Structure 1
Amino acid sequence: MKMTVSARVGLILAALAFVFLPMVLGGQWIKILISTGCFIIAASGVAFMYSRLGMVSLGQVALMGVGGWVMLRMNHAFHLPFEVNLAVAGAVTLMFGWLLAMPALRMRGLYLALITLMAAGGLEVIFSTFRFPNGGEGFWGVMPSVAAPFQRPLLATEDSDYLRYIIFWIVAAFLIIEMHMRTAPGRAWAMIRRSEAAAYSSGVNVVYYKAWAFGLAGFLAGISGGLLAGGLGLLDPATFRASESIMLFALMVVGGSRGWLGVIIAGILYRVVPALFNDWTIDADLALVIFGAALLHAIITAPNGLSGQLLDLIAKLSKRT
């Protein structure tokens, strides 16, 4: 199968990041990039739903919180291997994705966005009220004292190794989506985006493939939330506010939803830019002004986002040489 320019650039960036980033960065920036990588995985689910199905889901960060909650609870309650806990977190959020798919079977556009946003708001209230597990007793697993230690993968106990582990999962998430795009689900999603009536008349099971898309997005959110829990050891409810899902979606539009480079740009904007402002002793809220200007730029002049403009520039330069 022919590899696109975006895929080639993404693999090159992933290889360079895997080898060099843990070697040259300090401890704090490694943690920031671990968080960035987790949100890149989550953003990939939002991007493929928007670009392939035309559906706006504003609950992805909240689903990350579900995955993180399950990951922490499994770790503290059962002490199973990291990968087993991560698989459970992905499976649980996959089912949450199916629940969100139920209204999507009848609604699109603004109404679907509002329903997913309301779901995110409900999860935000739950997280704020009951907090995240930290080794306590009972169903919620919360104790007032210091959190119990979190068990990372055996090959990634140090932050530098865990960053490489995150990069591996970013590539895996992109490959999972790419595999779907090149097989029957991708063809069905493309037909559904063009016309649901035409898809029905062609024998496409629209209900089935919509539920499949929401389940896949939920699975990626759960994996990213579980990986974030592994990177930080304890999660803060403020990380999973409903407004954060809106921000992640907006930055996905800025970066570009049709290629993996756009998703990477979205994650970098979401996490690295505010961290840079804090490092430079600049109010991080100023980043919102920049994001707003970037969103206007993307809507007016860059329908494929910043990644589309960058890839067009690379294509022009390659033709000249």
Structure 2
Amino acid sequence: MAYSTSGIAGLAFAALTAVFLPVLVGSQWVLIFTSTACFALAAAGIGLMYARLNMVSLTQVGLMGVGGWVTLRMNHGLGLPFEFNLLAAGVVTAAFGMLLALPALRMRGLYLALITLMSAGGIEIVLSTFRFPNGGEGFWGVMPSVAAPFRRPVLAIEDGAYLRYAIVVSTLGMLLIELHRRGAPGRAWAMIRRSEAAAMASGVNVTLYKAWAFALSGLLAGLAGGLLAGSIGLLDAATFRAPESIMLFALAVVGGAGSWPGAVIAAILYRVLPALFNDWGLNPDLALVIFGAALLHAIMTAPEGIAGQIRAALPRWAK
């Protein structure tokens, strides 16, 4: 399988970022860029659903919370290596994604968006009520005192090394999307997007491939949430509020759904821009004004988002 120019550029970008970014920024920005890598992976899952199947899923940030919860619980409760905990988080959220696929078989458009948003709201309530595990006893694992230490991967104990680790995992997740896009699932998704009736007439199992897409998107969200848990060591339900899923979806459209640059741009806007405003002594909420203007611009003049405009300006970087 030949790699596209965009794919080679993506691998080069990930490699350069992993090598140089941790040594060029301060400790606070290392944590910010680590969370940016996590949200880029989650945004890639949103782009997968929207670009390949024209489906709006507004529960991605909520699923990140589920992935973070599973990672923390397994870390404190079982003491397994971080990679096992992260994989378990991805499997659990993939199962959640398949459950969300059930209404998608009959609903689409606004109704599907509302169903997934209600699911995100339910997740938010559960996480707010029972909180994230911090080393306590019982199923929920919550104790009122100081949280127990979180065990990071052996090769990524320090913050800079963990940023590199997060970049590598996010890159692997985006490569997984690319493998699907180039394989049988990608061809099936393309047919379903054009016409479900035509896809069924051609022998495509619409139910299977829709569930597949939801599961893959959920897997990426779970991995992103697990990585975020490893970065901070303790999560808060306020990070995974339902409106944040709406915001991340909007920024995925602004960045350019369905491409790795679009996911990266969405995550940078989501995490880095408010942090910059805070550093400059401005209200971080001013970023919302920019997000609104950027979304309006994307809808009216740039349907492929900022990434699409970059591709148009650099023809050699086309797929």
TM-score range, shorter chain: over 0.9
Q: Check whether the contact 1:6–1:259 (CA below 8 A) recurs between aligned residues.
A: no
Q: Check whether the contact 2:44–2:259 (CA below 8 A) recurs between aligned residues.
A: no
Partners of 2:173 and 2:78 in 1: how far apart?
A: 26
The structural deviation recorded for 1:170 is 1.5
Partner of 2:119: helix, strand, or coil? helix
Q: Give the unaligned 5+ runs of structure 2.
A: none
Q: Check whether the contact 1:72–1:134 (CA below 8 A) recurs between aligned residues.
A: yes
Partners of 2:316 and 2:139 in 1: how far apart?
A: 57
**Corresponding letter in the other structure for 2:206:** V
Q: Per the alignment, do residues 55 and 317 of structure 1 end up closer, same or farther by CA in structure 2, a change over 3 Å counting?
A: closer
- The 5 Å alignment of 1:285-304 reads 285-304=285-304
Partners of 1:6 and 1:114 in 2: how far apart?
A: 34
Task: Report what 1:101 is aligned to.
Answer: 101
Q: Check whether the contact 1:133–1:141 (CA below 8 A) recurs between aligned residues.
A: yes
Partners of 1:59 and 1:211 in 2: how far apart?
A: 15
Task: Report what 1:173 is aligned to.
Answer: 173
Task: Report what 2:247 is aligned to.
Answer: 247
Partners of 2:39 and 2:162 in 1: how far apart?
A: 15
Partner of 1:155: helix, strand, or coil? helix
Partner of 1:149: helix, strand, or coil? coil
The structural deviation recorded for 1:257 is 0.7
The structural deviation recorded for 1:316 is 7.8
- The 5 Å alignment of 1:154-303 reads 154-303=154-303
**Corresponding letter in the other structure for 1:152:** R
Per-residue CA shift, 1:171-226, capped at 9, x if unaligned?
10111001101111111111000000001111111001101100000011111100
1:6 aligns with 2:6: yes
Partners of 1:187 and 1:268 in 2: how far apart?
A: 30
Partners of 2:91 and 2:198 in 1: how far apart?
A: 32
Matched pairs, number = 318
Partner of 2:176: helix, strand, or coil? helix
Q: Check whether the contact 1:61–1:240 (CA below 8 A) recurs between aligned residues.
A: yes
Q: Check whether the contact 1:7–1:259 (CA below 8 A) recurs between aligned residues.
A: no
Partners of 1:232 and 1:58 in 2: how far apart?
A: 24
The structural deviation recorded for 1:315 is 2.0
Task: Report what 1:312 is aligned to.
Answer: 312
Q: Give the unaligned 5+ runs of structure 1.
A: none
| Percent identity between the two aligned chains | 68
Q: Check whether the contact 1:67–1:221 (CA below 8 A) recurs between aligned residues.
A: yes
**Corresponding letter in the other structure for 1:111:** Y
The structural deviation recorded for 1:317 is 10
Per-residue CA shift, 1:94-137, capped at 9, x if unaligned?
10001100100111111000000000000111111111000111
Per-residue CA shift, 1:130-174, capped at 9, x if unaligned?
110001111111111110000000000000000000110111011
Partner of 1:137: helix, strand, or coil? coil
Partners of 1:227 and 1:317 in 2: how far apart?
A: 30
Task: Report what 2:33 is aligned to.
Answer: 33
Partners of 1:287 and 1:21 in 2: how far apart?
A: 23
Q: Check whether the contact 1:53–1:190 (CA below 8 A) recurs between aligned residues.
A: yes
The structural deviation recorded for 1:2 is 3.8
Partners of 1:5 and 1:256 in 2: how far apart?
A: 17
Per-residue CA shift, 1:222-247, capped at 9, x if unaligned?
11100100000000100000000000
Task: Report what 2:57 is aligned to.
Answer: 57
TM-score by length of 1: 0.97
Task: Report what 1:73 is aligned to.
Answer: 73
The structural deviation recorded for 1:9 is 2.8
Partner of 2:228: helix, strand, or coil? helix
**Corresponding letter in the other structure for 2:178:** E
Partners of 2:50 and 2:72 in 1: how far apart?
A: 30
Partners of 1:41 and 1:148 in 2: how far apart?
A: 27
Partners of 1:267 and 1:3 in 2: how far apart?
A: 24
**Corresponding letter in the other structure for 1:50:** Y
Partner of 1:203: helix, strand, or coil? coil
